[in-house]
Amino acid sequence: VTPSATERLYYDDSYLTTFEASVIDSENSRVHLDRTAFYPTSGGQPHDLGTIGGKAVVDVVDEPEGRIAHVVSDSLPAGPVTCEVNWERRYDHMQQHSAQHLLSAVFVELFGYPTVSFHLGESLSTIELKVRDIPDKQMDEAEARANAVVREARPVTVSYTDAESAEGLRKPSARSGRLRIITIQDLDRSACGGTHVRSTAELGPIQIRGIEKIRGNVRIEYVAGDRALRRAGQDYRIAAALARGTSSGIDQLPEFVTALQARLAQAEKDRKRLLNELAQQQGSALYVATTASPDGVKRALLEVPAVDDAVRAKLQTFAMQGPAIAVAAGDDPAGVAIVCSPDAGMHAGNALKSVLSAAGGSGGGSATLAQGQLPDRSVLKAVLAMLGFELSG
Ligand SMILES: [Zn+2]
């Protein structure tokens, strides 16, 4: 026996939240009712939540043969039950979905951009439009036009027609048989199974929040109704929090941040210059404090966390006064840098190459400056010994 389709009460009354129904069967917490006001996930709109006989509904699924399964927290006995749809969630979905029909219609009306797909998300909803790019000016125009239609409080109505005789649809329907048509008076006719508001007055304000290029199309992000108000409140609180502790109000935040970025960039430049100067002074002081070896060459070993620009500057200042050889041993990443004065009797690049080929690692350089990486810190001691240096620890 083929089970009969579930009667969809939301088709003709999106505002129905409390209803009586009969549990037909309840298996593995999937409940089938004879009639339901619960919307199943479909057409870009997420499912409703609520309760059936006091049990929480966690998912609502469109099944073959027009059946709807309600996934509940617990199984239910067959028979009559009172059901309740979570209105806050449903009404939010109605506002976002009807706003999508309105925006999609406006983009066709003003610019001829058809809608490819729609997704109703947790915080933002998106419409993908078949066009490569949309200038800001058109975006503003579309938003203004949509909000003008909101203010006109146009009726949004449900009607039914045969697919063969359906006329004036914004998007041709691939379905056959009876079509459910959602009409925004004098603006839009769309085949749709979703839940919608009665009047465009319930959709305002509509705000386009972002635009993204995707698959050669444009995807716009928008919010409508209560969600738009909540989002605007959130934006204000974020801006106000950022403005606190600055001398600016929220309207001056962009200038404030731009100025801050410029100061940060200058401070970073200054910091690098000062570090370099400090390294040079340290290199000079180290040269003065170092006693020359019997061969007349001054040798210094710097054990550093990592070989960076400041370390190289220190090595170079030490060695440039010659005859001198300065080596830096970096811990993480494990590495070595050698700087020699031309009269030190050592070719930095060749010396490094020969020790690296023995110990493993990579690197190279010129006669006066060479740098290399070691596979790990354990070979550092051996590498330094080959160069005539000894680690302190
Ligand atoms: Zn729709």
* pLDDT digits 0-9 by tens, 268-283: 999 999 999 999 999 9
Q: How far is the CA of 199 from the centre of ligand 1 (A)?
A: 15
152: which 2 tokens?
Answer: 């006109």
Q: Which residues partner with 119 through β-bridges?
A: 126
Q: How far is the CA of 138 from the centre of ligand 1 (A)?
A: 23
Q: Which residues partner with 207 through β-bridges?
A: 223
Q: How far is the CA of 98 from the centre of ligand 1 (A)?
A: 7
Q: How far is the CA of 196 from the centre of ligand 1 (A)?
A: 8
Q: How far is the CA of 345 from the centre of ligand 1 (A)?
A: 82
pLDDT of 138 strictly over 60: yes
Q: How far is the CA of 87 from the centre of ligand 1 (A)?
A: 19
Q: How far is the CA of 366 from the centre of ligand 1 (A)?
A: 70
How would residue 116 be classed by pLDDT, with cut points 50, 70 and 90? very high
Q: How far is the CA of 44 from the centre of ligand 1 (A)?
A: 8
* pLDDT digits 0-9 by tens, 7-47: 999 999 999 999 999 999 998 889 999 999 999 999 999 99
Q: How far is the CA of 177 from the centre of ligand 1 (A)?
A: 18
* Of 114, 92, 97, 25, nearest in space to 63 by CA: 25
CB 48 within 8 A of CB 90: yes
Q: How far is the CA of 207 from the centre of ligand 1 (A)?
A: 18
How would residue 367 be classed by pLDDT, with cut points 50, 70 and 90? very high
pLDDT of 393 strictly over 80: no
The CA distance from 65 to 68, in Å, is: 9
Q: How far is the CA of 28 from the centre of ligand 1 (A)?
A: 31
Q: How far is the CA of 152 from the centre of ligand 1 (A)?
A: 21
CB 92 within 8 A of CB 225: yes
Q: How far is the CA of 32 from the centre of ligand 1 (A)?
A: 25
Q: How far is the CA of 260 from the centre of ligand 1 (A)?
A: 46
What CA–CA distances, in Å, run from 29 to 24, 60, 157, 164? 13, 11, 35, 39
The CA distance from 344 to 296, in Å, is: 9
The CA distance from 261 to 254, in Å, is: 11
Would you state the pLDDT for residue 2? 64
* pLDDT digits 0-9 by tens, 291-338: 999 999 999 999 999 999 899 999 999 999 889 999 999 988 889 999
Residue 217 CB coordination number (10 Å): 17
The CA distance from 221 to 123, in Å, is: 10
Rg (CA), the chain: 36
pLDDT of 1 strictly over 60: no
Q: How far is the CA of 190 from the centre of ligand 1 (A)?
A: 7
* Angle made by CA atoms 105, 184, 227, in degrees to the nearest 5: 75
CA 74 from centre of chain: 36
Mean residue pLDDT across the chain: 93
Residue 256 CB coordination number (10 Å): 16
Q: How far is the CA of 161 from the centre of ligand 1 (A)?
A: 16
pTM of structure = 0.77
Give Cβ neighbours of residue 219 (< 8 Å, ≥ 6 apart).
126, 127, 128, 129, 211, 212, 213
